[in-house]
Amino acid sequence: MEFPMILTIRLVFALFLACLAPAAMAESVLSKYLPQTQAADLVAGADSFGPISADVAVAPVMKGAEQLGWAYITSDFVGTTGYSGKPIHVMVALATDGKVIGVKLIKHSEPIVLIGIPEAKVKALAASYIGMDLVAEASDNGSGHKLDIISGATVTVMVIDDSIVRSGIKVARALGLGGLMPAEAKGPKAEIDPAVVAPADWLALEGDGTVRRLSLDVGQVNAAFAALPDPRAAQRAMTDPPTTTFIDMEMALVSPPAIAKAVLGEAEAANLAGWLKPGDQAVAIAANGIYSFKGSGYVRGGIFDRIVLVQDDVTVRFHDRDHKRLVSIPAPGAPGFTESDLFRIPADLGFDPAKPFRLQLLVQRPVAATEKVFTTFDLAYQLPARYLKPVVATKAAEPAVAPVEDETAAQSDLWKKIWESKKVEIAGLAVMLAVLTLVFFFQTFATRNAKGFLWFRMGFLTVTLVFLGFYANAQLSVVNLLALFGALTTHFSWQAFLLDPLTFILWFAVATALLFWGRGAYCGWLCPFGALQEITNRIARALHIPQWTLPWGLHERLWPIKYMIFLGLFGVSLMSIEQAEHLAEVEPFKTAIILKFLRAWPFVAYASALLIAGLFVERFYCRYLCPLGAALAIPARLRMFDWLKRYHECGNPCQTCANECPVQAIHPTGEINPNECVNCLHCQVLYQSHAKCPVVIRKDKRRASLAPSASAVPRDLRNHPNVKPQSSQQ
């Protein structure tokens, strides 16, 4: 008995860890899949591949004796772990000018692409990258293209996009395509010399280039907008005198201690040293004028949307966590600035303080009620040579594949980017979880009014269906758990599961709720398909569609079906996770929720049949077929608390709750089966019902019978210790 208990506990605490890390490959992925690929399927007109290069995992794409470009697979150069926890292998072909000339999806385990997304959409997605200029992408830090999301496959698409762009830039650098610097030629040639002393006053700091300046007046800005192709920009010119200072901005790299002391003063330089982590850099920016470089984005959410620091293919956008306000610039002779701030450049961004960079100032101009046009101005900066000393380079070629820590940072940036883009959805889910937690903790108060609670429940389920399901596609699946069991025996990666923030949060909430309330917290409240079944059943009741109550003996014997389905899927997953994902189509979730019934007719017919059955037998699928519900029911008995209140009379003789339980989870003897209960709290509504609960009705009658006797006693004697109601004396 000890082993099943240990396994169950591991399941409870690890439900949200449903992804696998790709295993280390002894040979390149390209060598495995290149013999299986036709060159013409990758690049139009190609007829063969050349031999794979010995030092970089690339192969020539040939048309007769002519080389059209180079082919590689993304997984050889960057992490490509998808939502399934396994790599998404994409073969890409690059021309000598650094442009993409071919893309082909080679191998993946993404269930939504395996089953739900039409092949034509996947091919169209791959074709959209043909023609991408990786030289331009390198200069824009991979953000110079438009990402087209396929509905229902957001995570998969973002992983494919990230892997194509980042691997393409790495391969182009490694081969020197399009003039990009080969990886072997990269590396610092100089570093900051800590022994140098900076000038003591502001004028000298400006004179030797320690502080750089960008000064713009209104006339210059108006002229810049007038040069744009949109004529509305010139029509909305500023009316201030042309010589009015638009912005007078100055910047200094203050991470070198000598410059920090000269510009910021001894005290602030010491604070800066404590704020910066090893490898971090920092710039100080100060300005006067009618235009603020901080912009409105800082007020909205901590993103400074008017400035961006650019160095080669490194782009730094500043957030509030990397910002500190300066009260003033204490350097002798420094002018008074209306705004002055410090901005930190994290070490993992690859910024080199010894190389030139520029601060790009974005200026916007409204041209319509909801439209703006933009132009930019650059403040160039190069740390003066006197602050630098040469670095003695060691003769060691940098591998084409980034170090593990760099790749981990890149994947971390990807999931952080996804979380940043899902702020509204995350906030909405957090509110839902908070409300549901309060309802469960204060269920006696919440269920006191039967009609009010029914409206609340229907409203919550509607939000679950529309917001979590149709809008956010946050539908959990047994596929997640099949991946989890694989993760228990292989390497685990947080990165893959973090790619879908709502799913991650939901699994974390489910794992926690299992310890407090069992499976019902998710199945009864947060499952979009479960919500769809209950809402349609309520509509059926309103239309007087007859409801079928299965005999208890038959109902009890149908329960195990879902457990057998889950165990069958689990057994298949041990042999082939891909086959198990196909068989997991027993779940109608992708058809009904993710793809909204826009699918081949057999899938639509199956999902519709389950919903039709649910019109007559409430939550038919949840009761008898759901493998996810079965998996969650396994640890349901480990919950720490028994929140659902019962009377001694429940089940003997009273059968009110058992007869009215929407999923027949209450035995005729009165016990609630935690494996089947969906925590709808209807039994708690009945527990307090003055119209249906015999125990409550009997108490009400007893109070009513005592009331006339109590009223017969004079008011001034009712509380006297020696005076008792007449009925009590008889």
DSSP assignments along 524-541, one per residue: TTT-HHHHHHHHHHHHHH
Higher pLDDT, 201 or 151: 201
Q: Say if residue 458's pLDDT is above 80.
A: yes
Q: Is pLDDT at 393 greater than 70 in this prediction?
A: no
pLDDT bin (cut points 50, 70, 90) of residue 22 is: very low
Most confident among 11-15, 118-122, 156-160, 557-561 (mean pLDDT): 557-561
In this prediction, residue 284 has a pLDDT band, given cuts at 50, 70 and 90, of: very high
pLDDT tier at 486 (50, 70, 90 boundaries)? low
Query: Regarding predicted confidence, which is higher, 394 or 208?
Result: 208
Sheet holding 307-311, edge to edge: 314-316, 307-311, 357-366, 372-381
Q: Of the given ranges (101-115, 285-299, 632-646, 665-679), which has the lowest mean pLDDT?
A: 101-115
Checking if the pLDDT of 250 tops 90, the result is yes
Residues in contact with 430: Cβ distance below 8 Å, sequence separation at least 6, in sequence order: 505
Distance (Å, rounded) from C-alpha 261 to C-alpha 199?
10
Structure confidence at residue 644 (pLDDT): 84
pLDDT value of residue 262? 92
Greatest mean pLDDT range, 116-120, 453-457, 643-647: 453-457
Phi, psi of 427, deg, nearest 5: -65, -40
Mean pLDDT for the stretch of residues 119-143? 75
Q: Which has more confidence, 265 or 143?
A: 265
The yes-or-no verdict on residue 699 having pLDDT over 80 is yes
305 and 297 in contact (C-beta within 8 Å)?
A: yes
Summarize the confidence of residues 426-446 as an average pLDDT: 91
Between 547 and 24, name the one with better pLDDT.
Answer: 547
pLDDT at 2: 39
Specify the higher pLDDT residue, 225 or 390. Answer: 225
Least confident range of 117-131, 421-435, 515-529, 575-589: 117-131
Give the residue, 725 or 155, on which the prediction is more confident.
155
How far is residue 142's CA from residue 137's CA, in Å, rounded to a whole number?
5
Residues 6+ apart with CB under 8 A from 540: 547, 615, 616
Res 608 pLDDT > 90: yes
Average pLDDT score over residue span 3-17: 41
Mean pLDDT of 283-295: 90
Contact in structure between 593 and 469 (CB atoms under 8 Å): yes
Query: Would you say residue 539 has pLDDT above 90?
Result: yes
Name the more confident of 121 and 306.
306
What do you get for the CA distance between the two ends of the chain, in Å?
60
The answer to whether residues 379 and 249 touch, using CB atoms and an 8 Å cutoff, is: yes
pLDDT of residue 403: 47
Region 680-693: what's the mean pLDDT?
Answer: 88
Which range is least confidently modeled, 46-55, 177-186, 520-529, 686-695? 177-186
Helices (H), 362-422: 404-421
Decide: pTM greater than 0.85.
no
Q: How confident is the model at residue 286 (pLDDT cuts 50, 70, 90)?
A: very high
624-678 tens-digit pLDDT: 999 998 888 887 667 776 778 888 888 888 888 888 899 888 888 888 888 888 8
Average pLDDT, the chain: 80
The predicted structure's pLDDT at residue 424: 87
Tens of pLDDT, residue by residue over 184-239, are: 444 557 788 888 888 888 999 998 899 999 999 999 999 999 988 888 888 889 99
Dihedral sign (CA 58, 64, 65, 69): negative
Query: What are the b/e assignments for 2-29, b being 16+ CB within 10 Å?
Result: eeeeeeeeebbebbbbbbbbbeeeeebb
Q: How many CA atoms lie within 13 A of 487 on its CB side?
A: 24
How far, in Å, CA of 511 to CA of 635, rounded? 10
Q: Are strands 281-288 and 339-345 parallel, antiparallel or unpaired?
A: antiparallel
Which two structure tokens, joined as six digits, stand for 146? 């438009």
For residue 70, give the DSSP letter: E
Top-ranked range on mean pLDDT: pick from 69-83, 283-297, 335-349: 335-349
pLDDT in the model for residue 556 = 86
Q: Is the pLDDT of residue 116 over 70?
A: no
User: Is the predicted pLDDT of residue 395 greater than 70, yes or no?
Assistant: no
Which is more confident, 646 or 288? Answer: 288
- Over 80: is that where the pLDDT of 483 sits? no
Enumerate residues 6+ apart whose C-beta is below 8 A from 202. Answer: 211, 329, 331, 332, 333, 334, 335
Average pLDDT over residues 64-91: 81
